[in-house]
């Protein structure tokens, strides 16, 4: 593993430890006196669960055996439920303090357990809905007007498959379902703007085998995301090429008159580097261009280079409430969906998969079918 992801895991572990301790204090406060044995069991259980996701994540980078996948899945599911338990605990304190101002102490003692029980039950329901919702992939159909679009591209369809996160949680059956849905849409071309893989150890050829059945007329094109670069990109690239996925590692190709450019996540992080790459890869005047850039950033650089459409993912639109708010604060109107930056269209997909908890609450997984149209007035 690289150093900065490891430092991130240390920070996450400290935060999770403190958050689980807060949950312990909340439950013991609102549910009243417990026996020493129950308290000890609760402390040990929450202590183990607090460490479970970081330990499972580290194991996932070392091994792809089934038991590691199960451990990772269980830890990720708990992390999702814990998110809702944490906010339920916060609300319990808020309501408890509010009721303290209007209720006598004896009545408050009776109400306290009910506050925590009802909110915790709501958290369980939210988590269960999130698991169902995360597997219900929607198909979005979007019309995009592209300047200088070749006449023979007008009305053609491009499928955007972002953030599948294939690995320990999204396995072969998930890949097969995605490919089956994709084939039914009969796209002319497929774009994968990053995070095809989750980054850990995986049976790569097995995960990618279903993609050999996806044969759009004008090919499949991939550009790396941050999770892809957590893993071995050389290994990933070789496996993708074997099933017909063209890897654009800071490269451009002309696809029947349409320029398709892919910039890797690492290079797109550096504005100077990205500007230099796009100056080299930018299309000739009068040629429509599509850019695969995993994160919906560096938009002024892309527009300046003459890009007509940038395809991104990464945000998951926040994936799970309340992170939906945070993501919106960071990416604004480019968090998800179709938006414009100057003359350039930007589509940010919420992604078909999920990272960490296999849940989505407040967001929806998607694959995006883009229908190309000419700009008004162009012949």
Query: Sign of the C-alpha dihedral, residues 287, 182, 141, 304?
Result: negative
Angle between helices 66-100 and 36-60 (to 10 degrees): 130
CA 95 from centroid of its chain's CA atoms: 33
pLDDT score at 374: 83
Q: Note the pLDDT tens digit of each residue in 165-178.
A: 999 999 999 999 99
Q: What is the mean pLDDT of residues 208-214?
A: 96
Instruction: Using pLDDT thresholds of 50, 70 and 90, give the confidence band for residue 7.
Output: confident
Q: What is the mean pLDDT of residues 184-210?
A: 96
Q: What is the mean pLDDT of residues 47-53?
A: 96
CB contact at 8 A, 167 and 198: yes
Contacts of 142 (CB under 8 A, 6+ apart): 338, 347, 368, 369, 370, 371
Element (H, E) at 12: helix 3-30
Range 169-174, long-range pairs (CB < 8 A, 24+ positions): 169/69, 169/72, 169/73, 169/76, 169/198, 169/354, 169/358, 170/198, 170/353, 170/354, 170/358, 171/69, 171/207, 172/206, 172/207, 172/209, 172/210, 174/353
Q: Note the pLDDT tens digit of each residue in 368-378.
A: 999 999 886 55
Q: Note the pLDDT tens digit of each residue in 85-121.
A: 999 999 999 999 999 888 888 888 899 999 999 999 9
0.75 surpassed by pTM: yes
Instruction: Using pLDDT thresholds of 50, 70 and 90, give the confidence band for residue 242.
Output: very high
Query: If one looks up domain 138-374 in CATH, what number appears?
Result: 3.60.21.10
CB contact at 8 A, 347 and 312: yes
Q: Note the pLDDT tens digit of each residue in 187-199.
A: 999 999 999 999 9
Q: Note the pLDDT tens digit of each residue in 330-368.
A: 999 999 999 999 999 999 999 999 999 999 999 999 999
Q: What is the mean pLDDT of residues 229-246?
A: 95
Instruction: Using pLDDT thresholds of 50, 70 and 90, give the confidence band for residue 53.
Output: very high
| Residue 2 pLDDT greater than 80, yes or no | no
What DSSP line would sit under 188-203, residue for residue?
SEEEE-S-SB-SS---
> Rounded to whole angstroms, how far apart are CA atoms 195 and 353?
9
- Domain ranges in the chain? 3-133, 138-374
Collapse the DSSP code of 170 into the 3-class scheme (helix H, G, I; strand E, B; otherwise coil) and give the result: strand
CA-wise closest residue to 233 among 159, 294, 172, 158:
294
């Amino acid at each position: 593993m690289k150093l900065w992801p490891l430092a991130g895991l240390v920070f996450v572990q400290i935060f999770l430890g403190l958050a689980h301790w807060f949950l312990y204090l909340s439950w013991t406060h609102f549910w009243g006196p417990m026996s020493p044995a129950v308290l000890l069991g609760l402390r040990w259980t929450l202590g183990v669960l607090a460490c479970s996701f970081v330990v499972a994540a580290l194991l996932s980078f070392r091994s792809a055996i089934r038991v590691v996948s199960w451990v990772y899945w269980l830890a990720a599911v708990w992390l999702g439920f814990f998110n809702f338990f944490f906010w339920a605990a916060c609300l319990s304190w808020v309501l408890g303090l509010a009721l303290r101002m209007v209720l006598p102490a004896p009545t408050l003692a009776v109400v306290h357990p009910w506050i925590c029980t009802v909110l915790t039950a709501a958290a369980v329901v939210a988590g269960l809905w999130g698991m169902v919702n995360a597997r219900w992939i929607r198909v979005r159909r979007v019309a995009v007007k592209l300047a200088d679009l070749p006449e023979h591209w007008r009305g053609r369809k491009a499928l955007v498959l972002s953030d599948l996160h294939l690995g320990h949680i999204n396995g072969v059956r998930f890949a097969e379902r995605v490919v089956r849905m994709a084939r039914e849409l009969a796209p002319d071309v497929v774009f994968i703007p990053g995070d095809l893989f989750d980054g850990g150890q995986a049976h790569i050829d097995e995960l990618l085998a279903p993609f050999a059945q996806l044969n759009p007329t004008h090919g499949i094109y991939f550009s790396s995301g941050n999770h892809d670069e957590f893993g071995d990109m050389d290994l990933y690239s070789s496996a993708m090429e074997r099933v017909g996925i063209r890897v654009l590692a800071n490269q451009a190709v002309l696809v029947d008159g349409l320029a398709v450019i892919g910039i890797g996540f690492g290079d797109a992080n550096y504005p100077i580097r990205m500007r230099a790459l796009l100056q080299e890869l930018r299309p000739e005047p009068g040629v429509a261009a599509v850019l695969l850039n995993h994160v919906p950033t560096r938009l002024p650089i892309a527009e300046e280079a003459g890009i007509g459409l940038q395809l991104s993912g990464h945000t998951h639109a926040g994936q799970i409430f309340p992170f939906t708010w945070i993501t919106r604060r960071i990416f604004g109107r480019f968090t998800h969906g179709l938006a414009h930056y100057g003359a350039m269209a930007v589509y940010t997909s919420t992604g078909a998969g999920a990272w960490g908890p296999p849940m989505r609450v407040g967001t929806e997984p998607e694959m995006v079918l883009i229908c190309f149209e000419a700009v008004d007035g162009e012949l």
